[in-house]
Amino acid sequence: MTTAEAATRVGPYQHYVYAYPHKTAYRRLPDRPSLASLWAAEPKDALSLYLHIPFCEVRCGFCNLFTRIGAPDGLTGAYLDALERQATAVRGALGESDDVRFATAAFGGGTPTFLTAAELDRLCDIAEHRMGADLRAVPLSVEASPATATADRLAVLAGRGATRLSLGVQSFVDTEARAAVRPQRRADVEAALARIRDTVIPVLNIDLIYGIDGQDERTWRQSLDAALAWRPEELYLYPLYVRPLTGLDRLDRRRPGPGADAGGDPAWDEQRLRLYRAGRDHLLAHGYTQQSMRMFRRADAPPQGADDYACQTDGMIGLGCGARSYTSGLHYSFDYAVDMHQIRGIIDDYVSTGPAGFARAEVGHPMDAHEARRRHLLQSLLQAEGLRLDDYRARFGGTPADDFGLELERFADRGWLTDADPAVLRLTPEGLAHSDAVGPELFSPAVRAAMAAYERK
């Protein structure tokens, strides 16, 4: 690659966009608005509920999520106490109207199944009795790890209405799991999958990662086939990133180039693209449909309603110190960190917060009309079905080309947009493959500046 080519090259792995704006764009809110004022004029008849558990038995080398390893005696109980105080305050802020209803729920982390079976039962009680979510009547998705997917925990989740269990496997090849600093044995993973299938939770999702040191097309196919043997209703294929302050970053493996999470190694980029395409084609050939760059669903899997996109929609209530909440005018959360020492401090602060401390938003990012347009375009375009132009027009009174013509022209010039259906703005297969470059190019200048100024901790 020449110097000129390198200067104009668009790396395919810039930033995983699962929510916009990213938490690194959030800042302390000087006015600390009350939750009651934030939610007063919001529609509340189809809310999404997310409960965050910030504990894991180990921290994988690639992980930059808000989580800590283990918990001293009493900490999980104290955390659930705080979660209950927060839930009481938030439910009070929503008002007592019968119009407050939840359409979907999820437990994430961290690893929610780090909690004991009794603690998981209490977590469900908080969602139901404090927040008013009928977990047996709405889609309920729960994240788990092989080591914590025990029979007693799974029985609680199934009994309380869980419809989807997402298992973070990453690789069925033991040497690859070790290379990703994820200590596990395939035999234990298979045993966990057997327990999940015995529990008969309707939807099983398996997460796999490509781009691990030592991985090639043969071993990637081994993991794919091992996953397919369980006929999971969903599969997520994630590219490996090496992010600052993570275990792999400290081990100096695959250090990223310039930018927040940018991949600076063209050879590694090409390897990940090659593995992605191989995995995509393999799943499509085995009866799966592509929902996004990462998500594949078995064609005969039961529908899951709105939970696929719940983390990106307005009307999101997040409980727990790593959760986000979304209104139409403000995205807010608690403080964010990756460093383990900093995370422990934030969790300790959360656990010691009294009821009044949960009644106001502390950290967030305001959403104006232009950011709302940008977010809607971004989250829709990154789905395989694309963005219906009449939907955009009904919401915003114009077209995406009116608001984001330059960005869309660049995507079209690169062959990332298809004009096969004039009523839909949709990525080509190559555009979907470059979703982690498409998303960041749609960030606003203000969000870019805020992310660049964020002091990592």
**Architecture of the 369-453 domain:** Orthogonal Bundle (1.10)
What is the per-residue pLDDT for 254? Answer: 46
When mean pLDDT is compared over 190-204, 255-269, 338-352, the highest value belongs to 190-204
Q: How far is CA 149 from CA 87, 128, 183, 331, in A?
A: 26, 22, 16, 32
Q: Read off the pLDDT of each residue in 383-410 and give the average, rounded to a whole number.
A: 96
Shortest CA distance to 203 belongs to which of 184, 181, 230? 230
**107 within 8 A of 143, measured Cβ to Cβ:** yes
Which residues fall within 8 angstroms of residue 340, CB to CB, at 6 or more apart? 59, 68, 69
Evaluate if residue 209 carries a pLDDT over 80.
yes
What is the per-residue pLDDT for 262? Answer: 44
What is the per-residue pLDDT for 305? Answer: 56
Q: For 292-344, how does the pLDDT look when each residue is reduced to its tens digit (9 = 90+)?
A: 999 999 999 987 654 444 444 679 999 999 999 999 999 999 988 877 888 88
What is the per-residue pLDDT for 255? Answer: 45
Q: What's the CA gap between 41 and 19, in Å, rounded?
A: 23
Strands (E), 83-189: 102-109, 140-144, 164-170
Q: For 359-374, how does the pLDDT look when each residue is reduced to its tens digit (9 = 90+)?
A: 999 999 999 999 999 9
Q: What's the CA gap between 388 and 424, in Å, rounded?
A: 5
Q: For 221-232, how does the pLDDT look when each residue is reduced to its tens digit (9 = 90+)?
A: 999 999 999 999
CATH 1.10.10.920 maps onto the chain at 369-453
- 18-312 — its CATH code? 3.80.30.20
Evaluate if residue 219 carries a pLDDT over 70.
yes
Residue, of 63 and 332, whose pLDDT is higher: 332
Percentage above 70 pLDDT, the chain:
89
Evaluate if residue 403 carries a pLDDT over 80.
yes
Q: How far is CA 88 from CA 94, 127, 306, in A?
A: 10, 10, 25
What is the per-residue pLDDT for 302? Answer: 80
What is the per-residue pLDDT for 243? Answer: 59
Q: What's the CA gap between 193 and 189, in Å, rounded?
A: 6
What is the per-residue pLDDT for 98? Answer: 78
When mean pLDDT is compared over 55-64, 268-277, 339-348, the highest value belongs to 268-277
Q: For 109-122, how does the pLDDT look when each residue is reduced to its tens digit (9 = 90+)?
A: 889 999 999 999 99
CATH 3.80.30.20 maps onto the chain at 18-312
Q: What's the CA gap between 247 and 300, in Å, rounded?
A: 38
Which residues fall within 8 angstroms of residue 22, CB to CB, at 6 or more apart? 15, 260, 447, 451
* Residue 260 confidence class, pLDDT cut points 50, 70, 90: very low
Evaluate if residue 51 carries a pLDDT over 90.
yes
What is the per-residue pLDDT for 130? Answer: 96
What is the per-residue pLDDT for 19? Answer: 87
Q: What's the CA gap between 157 and 28, in Å, rounded?
A: 36
